[in-house]
Amino acid sequence: MTVTSTDSCRTTCPYCGVGCGVLAQGGTTPSVAGDPAHPANAGRLCVKGANLHETTGHGGRLLAPKVAGRRVSWPDALTATSEAIRQAVAEHGPGSVAFYLSGQLLTEDYYVANKLAKGFIGTPHVDTNSRLCMSSAVAAHKRAFGADAVPGCYDDLELADLLVLVGSNAAWNHPVLYQRMKAAARDGRRVVVIDPRRTATSELADLHLSLRPGTDTVLFNGLLVWLADHQGVDQDYLSRHCDGYELALAAARDAAPDLGSVARQCDLAEAEVETFYRWFLETPRTVTGFSQGANQSVAGTDKGNAIINCHLATGRVGRPGASPFSLTGQPNAMGGREVGGLANTLAAHMDYQSEADKALVTEFWGSRQLADGPGLKAVDMFDAIHRGEIKVLWVMATNPAVSLPDTVRVREALKRCPTVIVSDCMADTDTTAYADILLPATGWGEKDGTVTNSERRISRQRGFLPPAGEARPDWWIISAVARQLGYGKAFDYQAPADVFREHAALSAFGNDGQRVFNLAGLATLGDDAYDTLAPIQWPVLDTAAGIVTGTPRLFADGVFCHPDGRARLVPIRTVLPVSQPDAQRPLVVNTGRVRDQWHTMTRTAKSARLLQHRAEPFIDVHPHDLQRFGVADQGLAVLENRGQRYIGRVRRAEGQRPGEVFVPIHWNQCYTGAGLASALTERITDPFSGQPESKYGLAALRPFPARWHARLLCRTGRPRRWKADYWSYVPLDHCDSWWLASETEMDWVGQADYWLGGVPQLVMSDPGQGRYRAARIVDGRLEAIILVDREVSRLPESAWLEACFSQDALSERDRRALLAARDSEAEDIGAIVCSCFQVGQNQIEAAIADGASSVAALGQQLRCGSNCGSCIPELKALVETLGEAVEP
């Protein structure tokens, strides 16, 4: 990883909304490093960013267009696509065509898709996976400020004397921003983390409020009441700049009259609630960051407004170190909102509700049939598909078969839809399995355009690799289809810069200052200037002197985007999760992310290194619930909801609240047999934003009655879905591997060929112990090995075996050691904790036993934690738990 700024390409990380600058180099061995000149990260990268070069290989890529499973030429694929659309419109009207887009498209791709759908095909049914992600924050911003605008910037997270994080595990999900928050620690700076479970982020917390899920509005209503009762409200600010305070306060008093009531409803101690309230009261420089624990809720919009109410009441909006701050998830969640990719918005922060906006967009696009009202939001869209109302669905850069709630029904809908078009970089995903037409898109490193991060900062993604196979950029694919449909004049783009200029011009078109999203200063950007565009925060206005500058903060002057310029406090009632636990489904299922995986794993799982941190689908269970449900740490267990099963490895987790489990959202049917988190969540949505309540499902928990457990390692290229009740795929550097288990006995001797792809040469069978081990060796090379045991704890680690696959000829000593599965002379380093330096838990435990008493000491000795820092919370936990035990 030695990239210097002189010989490399400046681009932007394609993962989270922090939007870090990356210096990348192509060639046969691509490499990446953090860009020291990028304001978001100043050279830092987290473990996902630092391993980007391991994900750019062509393995698993979709390399050519396909129609009905057959490889076709681009002209044929474009004709099939445009004919399907043309026919649906002719027979069923424009509303029979739907687009499901993504915050992982570049702004240019997104703009062209939105324009084609809403402006030319004339369908309003354009929604995006941002519906599952940011739509509650969007709705809250619009209610409070009159526009979807984040007032603050990253510097504010550092400047704040009180940092409140609501439903955010930034340590894992916005790691570089978290590192910045951490580095800004100083005397008197305080951090409050509000999350039902203890996370890596709560390591930074001076106070962690592990509230009952879904009760955030009660906590913030209670805060408003407390501020009002303790002279904490800025009456002057309210009277000059805001409406709605009295009503909001009255509603808050109803919902959260006093400390005792808040503590009871949120299941917190009165003293901790009071501490939080006192700190908020005393600290003018307060930033409240909120993320999916707030947004993904039936009360998601209300949670956002309950938070913003407290900031408006104290005048803490858009000031240095004082703002509400929505942490966006995807690299271009914000860009999608700018172009208007959500079903209830039109384009460039203009809305269907305004006839003037519709006229402006019609004129600017030169469209003849603009969709004339809001379309279906994601969950409703898939319901309409299920009912047969949508004849053509075009999915781009998202994997709805995994990420939408109630995945069984989503899959039924995809199956029923007459034409499903999927644009993706990868060949095999749970969604591409339903595609009638598959269009190969260029991926990160191959494509060019812009993305906007959480602080409204627009950065360039630049290509430094040739396209994989016949892949094409998304904007190119959409424009080509538009031309076939007869809209050539409006889609005559030659390069992303053409699209960007048009997008910027639309934002400025007829914009008399009411639309805060305005890129007037970039509307005439030349091709060269676009290529060298430095990261810049919108709005970007043209100044009289011709100097183009960005805008770090909004609303500092107290002037907002509602027509009267005033902000609104919104009265918030308590709305709790619709279903509460009962005898059939006694547990609350919380879902979210892990440090080293990105969403449905299509990219991050290509890096063996990134799968080491968590290699299997898992279930975090409080010790009390381990006992209550009879499940064992490291054993397999089943979560069940209405016939849907999630099977995962149990992890004992003190940080869970009893009665609540946590499962990761990443695993899907390409990686495991039954590990879909969203199979356990339901189609319940926020009434204002339409965002699904993805953080809250209900389920029963029971042990998985395994008769045997196995680990299978094969040279690559073997079938992936095994005849086992539980299988989980873990690609390794030199081979593929699976964890396996089943409820029924297996005739190993008779079935060996099936598992190993041929007759094994080495066999060890001990039916009495439930043990079987066999290896297949061809021409001295290890082809496959399986290790079976009744107890999972007796299965050996696979690191040494994996290395055997890298050898062309096994030595006699290694051959003899195969079925023992370990080199008798090697050290077993244990599960990897530090991905950067490949340091295992056994090594760390040994170092602690030898006296390493701090994270810094471990770093000096083993290097762990000294690069990206993502594993520091885990190192700290190990030092804390084990360190005491070895104290004299």
Ligand X SMILES: Nc1nc2c(c(=O)[nH]1)N[C@H]1C(S)=C(S)[C@@H](COP(=O)(O)OP(=O)(O)OC[C@H]3O[C@@H](n4cnc5c(=O)[nH]c(N)nc54)[C@H](O)[C@@H]3O)O[C@H]1N2
Which is nearer to ligand X, 429 or 507 (by Cβ)? 429
Torsion sign (Cα): 312, 314, 320, 326? negative
Residue window 93-112: x/- pattern of binding to ligand X, with contact defined by CB under 6 A: ---------x-x--------
Residues 6+ apart with CB under 8 A from 443: 56, 61, 425, 468, 471, 603
Please say which residue, 541 or 575, places its beta carbon nearer to ligand X. Answer: 575
**760-797 residues labelled b (16+ CB within 10 A) or e (exposed):** beeeeeeeeebbbbbbbbeeeebbbbbbbbeebeebbb
Binding mask 20-49 for ligand SF4 (x = CB under 6 A): x--------------------x---xx-xx
The structure tokens listed for 57 are 């290989």
Q: Name which of 398 and 479 has its Cβ closer to ligand SF4.
A: 398
18 near ligand SF4, judged by CB under 6 A:
yes
Which residue is at the shortest CB distance from ligand SF4? 49
Instruction: At 632, list the tokens.
Output: 């064992």
Nearest alpha-carbon partner for 435 in 122, 68, 39: 68
Helices within 346-445 (DSSP H only): 355-365, 378-386, 400-403, 407-416
CA distance 461 to 18: 14
**Residues in region 171-190 near ligand X by CB under 6 A:** 172-173
Residues that bind Mo ion (CB under 5 A): 133, 329
* Residue 593 contact among ligand X, Mo ion, ligand SF4, none, beta carbon within 5 to 8 Å by kind: ligand X
- 453 neighbors 177 (Cβ within 8 angstroms): no
Per the listing, tokens 């805001």 go with 242
Q: How far is the CB of 173 from ligand SF4 (least distance, A)?
A: 8
Q: Which stretch binds ligand X (CB under 6 A): 307-315, 674-682, 713-721, 851-859?
A: 674-682
Sheet holding 190-194, edge to edge: 207-209, 190-194, 162-166, 286-290, 323-326
Vertex 777 angle, CA 775 and 782, to 5°? 85
Q: How far is CA 843 from CA 802, 822, 836, 839, in A?
A: 19, 17, 15, 7
Q: Residue 303 corresponds to which amino acid? A: K
Smallest separation (angstroms) from ligand X to the CB of 532:
22
What is the footprint of ligand X within residues 118-157 (CB under 6 A)? 129, 132-133
Pairing of strands 70-71, 66-67: antiparallel
The one-letter amino acid at 56: T
Q: Is residue 221 within 8 Å of residue 306, measured between CB atoms? A: yes
Question: Quick one: 439 or 852, whose CB is closer to ligand X?
Answer: 439
Q: How far, in Å, CA of 248 to CA of 143, rounded?
A: 13
What span, in angstroms and rounded, lies between the C-alpha atoms of 838 and 834? 5
Three-state DSSP string of 14-73: CCCCCCCEEEEECCCCCEEEECCCCCCCCCCCCHHHHCHHHHCCCCCECCCCEECCEECC
Q: Which residue number, 148 or 874, has a Cβ lying nearer to Mo ion?
A: 148
Cβ 549 to ligand X shortest distance, Å: 29
Binding piece for ligand X, criterion CB under 6 A, among 148-156, 409-417, 595-603, 616-624 = 595-603
The nearest distance, CB 655 to ligand SF4, in angstroms, is: 22
**113 lies in the site for ligand SF4, by CB under 6 A:** no
Please work out, in degrees rounded to the nearest 5, the angle formed at the alpha carbon of residue 117 by the alpha carbons of 111 and 122. Answer: 135
Which part of the chain contacts ligand SF4 (CB under 6 A), choosing from 10-18, 99-107, 582-590, 660-668? 10-18
- Binding partner of residue 102 among Mo ion, ligand SF4, ligand X, none, CB cut-off 5 to 8 Å per kind: ligand X
| Least CB distance to ligand SF4 at residue 414 (A) | 29
- Does position 194 interact with ligand SF4 (CB under 6 A)? The reply is no
Task: Decide: 670 and 683 in contact? Cβ < 8 Å.
Answer: no
Site for ligand SF4 in 643-702 (CB under 6 A): none
Among 156, 338, 357, 424, binds ligand X (CB under 6 A): 424
Smallest gap from residue 458 Cβ to Mo ion (A): 19
248: part of which helix (H) or strand (E)?
helix 245-255
Residue 168 lies near ligand X (rule: CB under 6 A)? yes
**Angstrom distance (rounded) from CA 596 to CA 730:** 14
Shortest approach of Mo ion to residue 328 CB, angstroms?
8
CB atoms inside a 10 Å sphere around CB 707: 13
Min separation Cβ 438 and ligand SF4, Å: 27
Chain-centroid distance of CA 865 in Å reads 23
Q: Which of 30, 39, 293, 840 binds ligand X (CB under 6 A)?
A: 293
Out of 175, 222, 293, 375, the residue judged to bind ligand SF4 by CB under 6 A = 175
215-234 footprint of ligand X as x/- string (CB under 6 A): -x------------------
Q: Do residues 302 and 290 make contact, with C-beta atoms less than 8 angstroms apart?
A: no
Residue number with CB closer to Mo ion (567 or 665): 665
* Binding residue count for ligand SF4, defined by CB under 6 A: 14
User: Rounded to the nearest whole angstrom, what is the least distance from the CB of residue 250 to ligand SF4 in the complex?
Assistant: 41
Closest CA to 398 of 689, 81, 128: 128
For residue 652, report the phi and psi dihedrals to the nearest 5 degrees: -70, 125
Nearer to ligand SF4, 21 or 321 (CB): 21
Query: Helix and strand tally (H, E) in the chain?
Result: 29, 36
**Least Å from the CB of residue 692 to Mo ion:** 12
* Contacted by 403, from Mo ion, ligand SF4, ligand X, none: CB < 5 to 8 Å by type: ligand X
Residue 290 or 727: the one with the smaller Cβ distance to Mo ion is: 290
The listed partner (ligand X, ligand SF4, Mo ion, none) that binds 590, CB under 5 to 8 Å by sort, is ligand X
Shortest Cβ distance from residue 407 to ligand X (Å)? 9
State which residue, 332 or 843, has the beta carbon closest to Mo ion: 332
Q: Between residues 290 and 738, which has the closer beta carbon with respect to Mo ion?
A: 290
- Closer to ligand SF4 at the Cβ: 177 or 266? 177
Does 131 help bind ligand SF4 (rule: CB under 6 A)? Answer: no
Q: Is 333 in the site for ligand SF4 (CB under 6 A)?
A: no
Alpha carbon distance 111, 474 (integer Å): 11
In this structure, are residues 833 and 841 in contact, taking their beta carbons and an 8 Å threshold? yes
φ, ψ at 326 (rounded to 5°) = -80, 120
- Which of 592, 692 has the CB closer to ligand SF4? 592
Restricting to residues 680-709, name those near ligand X by CB under 6 A.
Answer: 681, 694-695
Residue among 3, 19, 152, 196 that touches ligand SF4 (CB under 6 A)? 19
Segment lying near ligand SF4 (by CB under 6 A), choices 172-180, 347-355, 537-545, 702-710? 172-180
**Residues numbered 373-402 forming contacts with ligand X, rule: CB under 6 A:** 396-400, 402
CB atoms within 10 A of CB 281: 18
The DSSP bridge pattern shows strands 242-243 and 207-209 to be unpaired
Among residues 133, 157, 176, 864, the one that binds ligand SF4 under rule CB under 6 A: 176
Q: Which does 425 bind (CB under 5 to 8 A by kind): ligand X, Mo ion, ligand SF4, none?
A: ligand X
Cis peptide leading into residue 539 (ω within 30°): yes
Binding site for ligand SF4 (CB under 6 A): 13, 15-16, 18-20, 41, 45-46, 48-49, 174-176
Binding site for ligand X (CB under 6 A): 16, 48, 102, 104, 129, 132-133, 166-170, 172-173, 194-197, 199, 213-214, 216, 291-293, 296, 329-330, 396-400, 402-403, 423-426, 429, 441, 443, 474, 590-593, 595, 597-600, 602, 665, 677-678, 681, 694-695
